Amino acid sequence: MKTLFTLLFLSTIVFAKAQNPIITEMFTADPAAIVYNDTVFLYAGHDEATVNGNGYVMNNWQVFSSSDMVNWASRGEVFNVDKITWSKGDAWASEVEERKGKFYLYFCTEHKTIAGKAVGVAVSDNPTGPFEDALGKALITNNQTTGIDSYWDDIDPTVFIDDDNQAYLYWGNSACYFVKLKENMIETEGDIQVVNLPSFTEAPYIHKYKNTYYLSYAYGWPEKIAYATSTSITGPWTFAKVINDNVNQCGTNHQSIIEFQNQWYFIYHTGDIGGDFRRSVAIEYLYYNNDGSIREIVQTPFGVEAINKIEQCKPSPID
Ligand code: CA
């Protein structure tokens, strides 16, 4: 019994800090996290390129969960391009949003008949899926956004539900777009609008802190993460600054910003143990200055500490 206790105590010390990257059992990219029922659900794309691969090989989306930000349980595949009748392939960046007990997974994939990448939406009654295509067709297709001539400007969807319960879909590469979503979360409403942001590459993400909206995005190439702020979800947006520098061995940079148990986190990916096409999700703390500006993210190999170390001695509930 004493030995068991000692082992538990030692494991508490070992696991008190996360190691970056936090997911090492597979390569994961483009993280997007939500907090639901005191648990963080972390969604990510699945990089399956071979070690010498020179392009993305991505066919499904994965989910992981944690109650302490350090111990992450793989909850498996949530969705797969095989389940999308209109997809030509590619399971690119996704994000999940919960509304009235249903979970909506917005994703990017290549369209089979309308040339270019497209945004779709899948739905589930459970944050860990399985998700089913909600429409049987795309939500946004390349030919709806023609301001720039691009095959892949309709990628990287992110959804934010404002305080008045109006939902907005933001997305884009080279151009940043947004449109209202109907209450059913699977149809758009009104015109698609464009946000002008300096050196916008891709990966828009919206969060709110106090009374300010923050639109963070991948900036330049290789990508850093910068942000702009507004007093309204629809802008106008005022550029602030770069907060995350280039990441190791990877040109892309893709962020999710969440608050969990009164602490803010910056979730991103690096090429630390793989590379451009074999990425891995990592986590750092995110801090605000008194004026609400975000401090520069410090990329570390050791990540963040467990929220409640005492809890480490207990088996964590999975379901
Ligand atoms: Ca387009």
Write out pLDDT tens, residues 84-140: 999 999 999 999 999 999 999 999 999 999 999 999 999 999 999 999 999 999 999
Residue 166 lies in a domain: yes
Ligand 1 centroid – CA 148 distance (Å): 7
Residue 46: give the domain boundaries: 18-193+265-282+298-303
**248 pLDDT higher than 60:** yes
Residue 91 lies in a domain: yes
Ligand 1 centroid – CA 167 distance (Å): 21
Ligand 1 centroid – CA 141 distance (Å): 7
> Which tokens hold the place of 235?
């802008």
Ligand 1 centroid – CA 90 distance (Å): 17
pTM value is 0.92
Number of domains in the chain: 1
CATH number at residue 75: 2.115.10.20
Residue 22 lies in a domain: yes
> Which tokens hold the place of 319?
């379901």
Specify which residues 33 forms β-bridges with. Answer: 42
Q: What is the pLDDT of residue 308?
A: 80
- Tokens 């993400």: give the residue: 205
> Which tokens hold the place of 65?
């969960």
